Amino acid sequence: MRLVIDTNILVASLSSKSKYHWIIQALREGKFELCVTEEIYLEYEEILKQKYNVIVANSFLNSLKELSNVIQTDVFYKWLLIQSDPDDDKFADCAVAGNVDFLVTNDRHYNILKTIGFPPINVISLEEFKLIYEA
79-121 per-position pLDDT tens digit: 877 877 778 899 999 999 999 999 999 988 888 888 887 888 9
Whether residue 120 is preceded by a cis peptide bond, meaning omega within 30 degrees of 0, is no
Q: What distance in Å separates the CA atoms of residue 95 and residue 81, rounded to the nearest whole number?
A: 12
Give pLDDT, residue 10: 96
* SS3 call for 123: strand
What per-residue confidence (pLDDT) applies to 110?
Answer: 83
Q: Name all domains of the chain by residue range, CATH numbers in brackets.
A: 2-134 (3.40.50.1010)
Is the Cβ–Cβ distance between 75 and 97 less than 8 Å?
yes
Quick one: pLDDT band at residue 78, thresholds 50, 70, 90? confident
**CA 131-13-134 angle, 5° bins:** 20
